Amino acid sequence: MKDKILADLDPDQVDVVKQKDGPMLVVAGPGSGKTKALTRRIANIIINKWARPEEIVALTFTDAAANEMKGRVDELVPYGYVQTWISTFHTFGKRIITEFGPRIGLDPELKVITHPELFVLLSENIFTFGLKRLLPISNPEKNLPSLINHLSKLKSEDIQPDEYLEFSLKTGDERQIEIAQFFKQYDDFLRQRGVIDINGLISTALFILREVPEALPKLEARYRYILVDEFQDTNFAQYQLLKLLTNRSRNICVVGDDDQSIFKFQGAAITNILSFKDDYPDAKIFVLKNNYRSLPELAEVAYRLIRNNDPDRLEVKLKIDKKIDPQRSGKGRIDYFFYETIDQEADSIARMVIEEHGRGTPYSEMAILVRNNRDADPIIRSLNLSNVKWRFSGNQGLFGQEEIQILLSFLNAVADPEDTIHLYHLLCSGFYSPNGMVLNRALARARKTNRPLITIIRDDEFLSSVDDESKAVFEKAVGDIEHYCKLALEENTGKVLYQFLKDKAVFNRLMEEGIEGEVKIKNISRFFSMLRRLGGVVEVDRVPILIDKINLLRRGGENPPVAEADLDIDAINILTVHSAKGKEFKRIFVAGLYQGNFPTDEAHRRSGVIPIPDELLKEKIPRTDHLQEERRLFYVAITRARDAITLTGSRDVGGKRPREPSQFIAEAMDLHKHQLEVLKGKGVDEIKISEHGTSYTGRKVNRITAGQVDDYLTCPLKYKFIHILRVPITRHHAVIFGMAVHAAIAYLLRAKLEQRTPTLDRMIKVFRNNWSSEGFLSREHEDLSFRRGVRIITDFFNKEIGEPTPSLVEEGFSFSFGDIRIVGRWDRVDLDDGGVVIDYKTSEDVDQKKADREARDSTQLLIYAMAFKEIYGQSPKGAELRFVDTGITGQMKRIGDKIKKGAEKIQKVVDGVTSGNFNPKPKFLACRFCAYSDICPYEKKRC
């Protein structure tokens, strides 16, 4: 096992892995295998028994990165479930709040609120904060985006409300005092509503460690090793959290690269990594400079560029050698083109992409990197004209997608049928497709007579002047609006929109469009998720109220990210440079390289930003901070390439003055300004249209869950709807009920396991907090279901409170199955007397015969038993479904024989998903209870 951990590591990585204790700073250049070194170090700590798995914490910044780390560690350690806490900083902060929050009167079940939800919640209550200067009567929400961002930055800088208010009062600045008073009320306002913002997770965790006497000693004793990935992206408050937790053990290992610190706009403090050695003078420094990604010429260009940030770099400050040392041989290629117009630039990029593809490079091995989302628009147009498939990974753009614009128009038309613009847009969509000339006549008459469009198209005089087909279209549209307006009186926004999509067979249509349709379905799913979350913070979730808040969000600049095309489709990647962090490609194009765009203009960047007074900042910021940040961003861009880089820009981008080439081009290529030649690009009419269709490259399966196996075996198309397209559905009331009951049961069992004292009142509160009114047939139906849930919980509490403590509760597991990992989560495991795997069910009207049959046929229970065998070396003595409503337990018989058949089931699913086989398997009972039966064209009907 130890040999496996050290296998294929270079000497520098081995040193990182084998260091036993003490503070460590691992400076890891691009492509140096830092995540490999970090995860191998975690495994080495466990294998050598320097600490138990549960005594190790590893923190990073995205759920994807945390899951990748979990997967790598899981493959290295000889356990089927990893008890090491590997998560994002915010998830870790939430864990501290859940455990210790009640000591300071906090609800441990605080809901984390997103930026759009926060905007809507504050806009609903904007007049309760006593604002004056920050509350223009003509536009009360005008300053909300700036205020929200400002408070977020204050929390990331570990600035407390009282500290801010005291400083503001001394300045006498009335506007600043008003901001400080708003800040002081803000957190209490959120907590009274049972929510907390993202940065509040860290600031509240810090407050707990400082003010709850037992919290810090308990956590210091619990966590003997703390490791941090992407340390250069931590903010000031996160670093304070780390320093508090490692003050006793000092076993902190941070991995990062100051040259790749690019998230200052999100609060990242580069001073954390620059000052780490000052804070931990005894820290050992390790440098990973072997680059396994880029060819030598590309590495040389990147290093030449970043040296322009001297002397504010670790290489200078710590007197270490960070020069990238490429390990690949060959000749890299770097080109630079500066065009007269932005259209020439976009067209030439499309031409070069096609030429590169013609030389055998898959589209998916190329990427076009842009500084801002808007820079991608002309490139996307040229790629579309050239018939090149693409996927865009920006950080916004959902509201601008055609399919979402139509849905927004529908909701606006229902909210206000006299909204002419949105009704016109809805009529122009494929749902109605009226005669264009007739529709324009109606619009012209509406404008001339100063009447709304809906009045015109329902006017008998006007309808008598149009052909029968147009009349039928208009009557249908008016009838639809009236129908959905009536529905909107009774149902929430999501239900109304879902009914519209169902009535118009939208998902069926999009399924026929292939890849483009699948991306549209994913975008609609994202839009539904946003509606669901926003509906939870408005006072009443109805179309007129919620669409008004969405329109406010749009005017405030909010625009969620779009969905990406399937990664298994051969399409070129278009990414913002920030989104490209952590990725690599054979050839990259960096577009929009002109002064004022890349690097951006600092004055433009600060527009609308409320600055934090320098006197309150606890970090020392270099005077040239903005330009250095932009240079680091360009460094990240060009270090994504393995073999080739193409840099492009243009002089005429539509403004009043011509643009100059980015200074970074000259810095990277060691050119003088007069050497930057303007080239005329070929127009799109000269571009050879790609004749290559979209190819399916195969879906690689690295991990699969027990639930996914069950879904695929039930129906492969159902699997695709749920796990690939994520088609939105209105959740069934049984799902809502089951989730709420399971949350309450988990609370009770976890409290027993952690030797806390559970109460029935608290258990019912957890049930209530996880409840939703969605999906119930009526108010009476919901009330009956809620009372049933309280009865089940009460009976369960009274029965379970005196029973033995479970061994595992909601414990994640994983085990190897060939080249993939099977992952899941047990409801409960009792390890005494040979072990029993237990899954709780909320079904009613279950007798013993039915319970045993369901246990016998349950794929999930079978996989839970397989996991037990893989982890503990023997089949569990029992595998049970416990039906909490009736108190009946169904038991799986002959578990050992069943496990052998389970392997065949899993292999069938892996083979099907890998080959892209999602052919439907319609069966009457399965289709009858399928959440997608309304939109599935293959639904099995009763004859």
Alpha carbon distance 280, 159 (integer Å)? 23
680: three-class secondary structure by DSSP: coil
Which tens digits make up the pLDDT trace of 413-452? 999 999 999 999 999 888 888 888 999 999 999 989 999 9
| Cis before 658? omega within 30 | no
Which tens digits make up the pLDDT trace of 368-378? 999 998 899 89
Residue 706 has pLDDT above 90, yes or no: no
Domain 703-928, second-level architecture = Alpha-Beta Complex (3.90)
The backbone torsions φ and ψ at residue 246, rounded to the nearest 5 degrees and listed phi first, read: -110, 10
Alpha carbon distance 21, 24 (integer Å)? 8
Please report, for the chain, the start and end positions of each structural domain, with discontinuous segments joined by +: 2-101+203-288, 111-193, 326-395+569-610+625-686, 399-555, 703-928
Which tens digits make up the pLDDT trace of 622-674? 555 889 999 999 999 999 999 999 999 999 887 778 889 999 998 998 876 55
Among all chains, which residue has been given the structure tokens 């399937």?
566
The conformational region for residue 139 under phi > 0 = left, psi -120 to 50 = alpha, else beta, is beta
Do strands 820-830 and 836-841 pair parallel, antiparallel, or not at all (unpaired)? antiparallel
Contacts of 185 (CB under 8 A, 6+ apart): 129
Alpha carbon distance 63, 577 (integer Å)? 19
Tell me, rounded to whole angstroms, the distance of Cα 764 from its chain centroid.
Answer: 31
This prediction's pTM = 0.82
Confidence band of 110 (pLDDT split at 50, 70, 90): confident
Model pLDDT, residue 566: 59
Model pLDDT, residue 648: 95
Residue 496 tokens read as 């109304």
Confidence band of 817 (pLDDT split at 50, 70, 90): confident
Contacts of 536 (CB under 8 A, 6+ apart): 117
Q: How many C-alpha atoms does 705 have within 13 Å on its Cβ side?
A: 10
- Mean pLDDT, all residues of the chain: 88
Annotate 875-932 with DSSP letters as a single string. Answer: --SEEEEEETTTTEEEE---HHHHHHHHHHHHHHHHHHHHHT-------HHHHHT-TT
Contacts of 710 (CB under 8 A, 6+ apart): 859, 860
Alpha carbon distance 141, 123 (integer Å)? 6
Contacts of 135 (CB under 8 A, 6+ apart): 126, 127, 143
Alpha carbon distance 478, 484 (integer Å)? 10
Which tens digits make up the pLDDT trace of 679-702? 444 444 433 444 444 444 456 677
Residue 150 tokens read as 């400002």
Q: Do domains 2-101+203-288 and 399-555 have the same CATH topology?
A: no
Helix or strand holding residue 118 (H, E): helix 115-124
More confident: 755 or 29: 29
Annotate 603-641 with DSSP letters as a single string. Answer: HHHTTT--PPPGGG--SPPPTTHHHHHHHHHHHHHHTTE
- Residue whose C-alpha is closest to residue 303's, from 289, 318, 323, 326: 323
Q: How many CB atoms lie within 10 A of CB 323?
A: 14
More confident: 79 or 531: 531
Question: Residue 728 in contact with residue 528, Cβ under 8 Å?
Answer: yes
Q: What's the mean pLDDT in 883-910?
A: 90
Contacts of 765 (CB under 8 A, 6+ apart): 109
The CATH H-level superfamily of 2-101+203-288 is: P-loop containing nucleotide triphosphate hydrolases (3.40.50.300)
Alpha carbon distance 767, 742 (integer Å)? 8
Looking at domain 326-395+569-610+625-686, its CATH class is alpha beta
One-letter amino acid of 195: V
- Residue whose C-alpha is closest to residue 205's, from 216, 193, 194, 218: 216
Confidence band of 822 (pLDDT split at 50, 70, 90): confident
Which tens digits make up the pLDDT trace of 136-154? 887 888 888 889 999 999 9
Model pLDDT, residue 511: 83
Q: How many CB atoms lie within 10 A of CB 606?
A: 11
Q: How many CB atoms lie within 10 A of CB 490?
A: 10
360: three-class secondary structure by DSSP: coil
The CATH H-level superfamily of 399-555 is: PCRA; domain 4 (1.10.486.10)
Q: Which DSSP symbol is given to 264?
A: G
The backbone torsions φ and ψ at residue 454, rounded to the nearest 5 degrees and listed phi first, read: -65, -30
Q: How many C-alpha atoms does 658 have within 13 Å on its Cβ side?
A: 9
- b/e map 762-781, b = 16+ CB within 10 Å: bbbebbebbbbebbbeeeee
Confidence band of 17 (pLDDT split at 50, 70, 90): very high
Q: What's the mean pLDDT in 855-883?
A: 92
Do strands 225-228 and 56-60 pair parallel, antiparallel, or not at all (unpaired)? parallel
Alpha carbon distance 224, 231 (integer Å)? 19
